[in-house]
Amino acid sequence: MVDNTRASPGRSAQDSNGPRLGANASDQTGSSSIPNGNGGSAATTRLYNKRWAIVLLFSSYSLNNAYQWIQYGIISNIIMKFYRVEAFAVDWLSMIFMLTYIPFIFPVTWLLEKKGLRVTALMANALNCAGTWIKVASVSPDLFGVTMLGQFVSSLSQVFILGMPSRLASVWFGADEVSTACSIGVFGNQMGIGIGFLVPPILVPNVDDMNELAYHIRIMFYISAGMATLIFILVVTVFQEKPEIPPSQAQVQARNIPRDEYSYKASILRLLRNKPFMLLMLSYGLNVGCFYAVSTLLNRMIIEHYPGEEVNAGRIGLTIVIAGMLGSLICGVWLDKTKFYKQTTLVVYLLSLIGMLVYAFTLSLGHLWVVFVTAGVLGFFMTGYLPLGFEYAVELTYPESEGTSSGLLNCSAQIFGIIFTISQGKIIDQWGTLAGNIFLSIFLLIGTIMTGKILTSLSPSQRARKRVPGLKPSSMFSLCFCGFSPGTPVSSHSPKTCMSG
């Protein structure tokens, strides 16, 4: 919406300051002016069409990286045969993404806070591109170590990617678009996993001729490397740190705060003392860790009951992800409309548990169409939980940094992902797929109970408080609408009396 009575002075002042980065008549969707909190001139906000290009570009390189995570696992029996390694070694080609994340998330999150989105995006794409070309050079049965090295470099890229959606959404999008934009960011990662399920079984058939098999694997790697290189070039030329004019009142306030006022270490310590957030971190880790285990071991589970169905195993994985993307988008839009973080998170978690149980008990019935249906239901709720966890974490931890809270959530997910993948793999080898899936269901039940306990552990001020969408929380400022001026430090007011919205 444009406030014509107040936008003009701000717009004129802006035009007098010289050229605007990426801002022209065709790149503006609307502007408004708001008080700056000091009773002076109005501060202008504006939404740029380029915000959609930025979030779609992020989704593209997130897609390419996520594809690499699962491209080995969905054809694990073929990779075992080509490189002459055990199933556990192939599982590590996926688990290396989880392991790498744990020690590197803290320095990478610090870099995101200090250097911003563009530097983080450039680092992510440089590593992702390098990893794909290393794997191109690994297509020989005696070069399993080289392909692991390429996967390791690609996994480093993931660390730079997973914490960005909530920050990018806050910096580029309006207050009513934040959850939807975050969902689009997560959408790219999910799409990459879906393509990783579908494409490798098509590109790499299960043939006995090692030369022919090497040819197909090399084609798969070249396609991935070519796409990664193209996206890297686009990021270098297109990706922008932030819009010249902020998109929301919250971002106007955030830009007035020097970076030096933010302490990453202090923020981590505050989050670790936040009981509701710690419960969410554990429950999020349990849910997403289960998803990682199911995704990594899907080929083994399907082939055990449906021998020779590598391509359908990939299609089932794609079904899980497509249903999950639909769930993510619906949950993101729902949160933007209702702000029912607590209730929605609990309901979706409970339905993830139910979906896991149904999938577990129907997998061995002998009907692939049943597996497609139950896997789709599981994916809708389990993957749909991803943006809910991110946004609920920001809600619980405001005014802390979105990058820090989502980094800790992802760290928890990687730890549980490794534990669950190794444990479920051993259980499947020993007692079969039903026992392995029941094992995961038990932990989803524990996570559901933890999610229900979050509300009871909230303090009165946490129950009442709502963050202002779009605010960069690390500013440690609040926009208060109960008799105080916007931009007043949080510490100046009691949290019980100063609430936004």
pLDDT digits (tens, 9 = 90+) for 110-142: 787 778 888 888 999 999 999 999 999 999 999
The helix (run of H) or strand (run of E) holding residue 44 is strand 43-48
Lowest mean pLDDT among 2-6, 116-120, 160-164, 323-327: 2-6
298 and 234 within one domain: no
pLDDT reported for residue 218: 95
279 and 231 within one domain: no
Lowest mean pLDDT among 87-101, 269-283, 396-410, 487-501: 487-501
pLDDT beyond 60 at 419: yes
CA count, 13 A, side-chain hemisphere, 109: 29
Give the pLDDT band of residue 6 (cuts 50, 70, 90): very low
Dist. CA 467–CA 454, nearest whole Å: 17
Give the pLDDT band of residue 479 (cuts 50, 70, 90): very low
Number of domains in the chain: 2
**Average of per-residue pLDDT across 433-451:** 92
301 and 234 within one domain: no
Q: Is the dihedral of CA 455, 458, 459, 464 positive or negative?
A: negative
Q: Is residue 391 part of a domain?
A: yes
Give the pLDDT band of residue 259 (cuts 50, 70, 90): low
- Rounded to 10 degrees, the C-alpha dihedral 52/187/125/85 comes to -170
Q: Is residue 360 part of a domain?
A: yes
Rounded (to 5) percent helix, strand, coil in the chain: 75, 5, 20
Q: Which residues does 444 contact at the CB level (< 8 Å), separation at least 6? A: 286, 287, 290, 349, 352, 353, 356
Residue 419 is part of which domain span? 266-458
pLDDT reported for residue 458: 57
Q: Which residues does 436 contact at the CB level (< 8 Å), separation at least 6? A: 297, 301, 424, 425, 427, 428
**Sole residue written with tokens 């993307």:** 325
215 and 78 within one domain: yes
Residues in the chain, total: 501
168 and 102 within one domain: yes
275 and 203 within one domain: no
pLDDT reported for residue 287: 92
Give the pLDDT band of residue 249 (cuts 50, 70, 90): low
pLDDT beyond 90 at 499: no
pLDDT beyond 70 at 5: no
207 and 152 within one domain: yes
Q: Is residue 83 part of a domain?
A: yes
Q: Is residue 38 part of a domain?
A: no
Give the pLDDT band of residue 334 (cuts 50, 70, 90): confident
The answer to whether the CB of 78 falls within 8 A of the CB of 310 is yes
For the stretch 63-108, pLDDT in tens is 999 999 989 988 988 999 999 999 889 999 999 999 998 888 888 8
Give the pLDDT band of residue 361 (cuts 50, 70, 90): very high
Q: Is residue 340 part of a domain?
A: yes
pLDDT beyond 50 at 167: yes
The answer to whether the CB of 111 falls within 8 A of the CB of 127 is no
Give the pLDDT band of residue 226 (cuts 50, 70, 90): very high
Give the pLDDT band of residue 465 (cuts 50, 70, 90): low
86: left (phi over 0), alpha (psi -120 to 50) or beta: beta
Give the pLDDT band of residue 322 (cuts 50, 70, 90): confident
pLDDT reported for residue 478: 27
The CATH number covering residue 116 comes to 1.20.1250.20
For the stretch 362-377, pLDDT in tens is 988 888 889 999 999 9
Q: Is residue 284 part of a domain?
A: yes
- CA distances (Å), origin 393, targets 27, 69, 166, 230: 32, 25, 10, 34
Comparing C-alpha atoms, which of 375, 321, 48, 376 is closest to residue 188? 321
**H helical segments located in 239-367:** 249-254, 264-272, 275-305, 310-338, 341-362
| Better-scored residue on pLDDT, 181 or 89 | 89
Angle between helices 178-203 and 275-305 (to 10 degrees): 20
For the stretch 27-75, pLDDT in tens is 555 555 545 444 445 468 777 677 788 888 898 889 999 999 989 988 9
| Better-scored residue on pLDDT, 145 or 345 | 145
**Average of per-residue pLDDT across 285-307:** 89
Q: Is residue 328 part of a domain?
A: yes
pLDDT beyond 50 at 444: yes
Q: Where are the beta strands (DSSP E) in 338-430?
A: none
The helix (run of H) or strand (run of E) holding residue 203 is helix 178-203
Q: Is residue 29 part of a domain?
A: no
pLDDT reported for residue 177: 76
The answer to whether the CB of 220 falls within 8 A of the CB of 204 is yes
pLDDT reported for residue 43: 65
| Better-scored residue on pLDDT, 99 or 173 | 99
308 and 241 within one domain: no
**Average of per-residue pLDDT across 11-23:** 37
Give the pLDDT band of residue 23 (cuts 50, 70, 90): very low
231 and 122 within one domain: yes
320 and 211 within one domain: no
Give the pLDDT band of residue 243 (cuts 50, 70, 90): confident
**What does pLDDT average to over the chain?**
77
| Better-scored residue on pLDDT, 275 or 246 | 275
pLDDT reported for residue 274: 87
